[in-house]
Chain A
């Protein structure tokens, strides 16, 4: 079964850091681009960042550029999001999502909640 499982969310103070992980199974992880998408409480979906299969191409939303870093370890079938200088507006459920060839977001994880509050 194709599956994505996020972890690493929690409560962090403004200015703090957190590292999210996404464990992939059931498919050849190294062949797919991957993404992080977030959803603030009661709000819509916002794309955060994307990384190509070999990490050659990386993109960020302007709202997180310079603060967040996406990475992957194909040997461990894992995707990561290092989040620094966190702000209250970063509070959201963070989903990892797979890109099928030439398209976007065909498989989603269950999400992990990040709360930024003092």
Chain B
């Protein structure tokens, strides 16, 4: 199975400051069709997960543009340009290139 490793696992951030989460995969996530199926999810306290970013860098509908995704191959990053109070929660990366689909351990973002 492809192992997804996130860092940090805990991320205290001051309001208005940037935040960055790293996600590394144990194998390349480039699929035979040329796409890289790396997604990012946000789970606010007490809520279901919500997809933010798909195929590395594409925003889902309604996602603020302060969120951005980047990376390639085995190394990916989710960045928040200016953290707001509503961004508190746990963030997961997930790969859909290889079966079984696997998630990172999650990064808990909190306000400092």
Would you list which residues of chain B between 7 and 55 have a CB under 8 Å from chain A? 33, 35, 37, 39, 41, 43, 48-51, 54-55
Q: Is the interface of A mostly helix, strand, loop or mixed?
A: loop
Over the window 78-112 of chain B, the binary record of Cβ atoms lying under 8 Å from chain A Cβ atoms (1 yes, 0 no) is 00000000000010101010011111111000000
- A27 CB-CB contact with B under 8 Å: no
Q: Contact residue range for chain A?
A: 20 to 34
**Complex-state Cα separation, A61 to B43, whole angstroms:** 22
Number of A-B residue pairs with CB-CB distance less than 8 Å in the complex they form: 56
Over the window 55-95 of chain B, the binary record of Cβ atoms lying under 8 Å from chain A Cβ atoms (1 yes, 0 no) is 10000100000000000000000000000000000101010
Considering the complex, give the chain B residue whose CB is closest to the CB of A45.
Answer: B103
Known contacts: A45-B41, A45-B92, A102-B35. The answer to whether A108 contacts B101 by CB under 8 A is: no
Asked if B94 and A95 sit within 8 Å, CB to CB, the answer is no
Q: Contact residue range for chain B?
A: 20 to 34
| B48 contacts across to A, CB distance below 8 A | 95, 108-111
Using a CB–CB cutoff of 8 Å, the interface residues on chain B facing chain A are: 33, 35, 37, 39, 41, 43, 48-51, 54-55, 60, 90, 92, 94, 96, 99-106
Mind listing 20 A-B residue pairs with CB under 8 Å? A44-B104, A44-B105, A45-B41, A45-B92, A45-B94, A45-B103, A47-B100, A47-B102, A59-B99, A61-B100, A95-B49, A100-B54, A103-B37, A105-B49, A105-B96, A106-B54, A108-B48, A108-B49, A109-B48, A111-B48
Using a CB–CB cutoff of 8 Å, the interface residues on chain A facing chain B are: 37, 44-47, 50, 59, 61-62, 95, 100, 102-106, 108-111
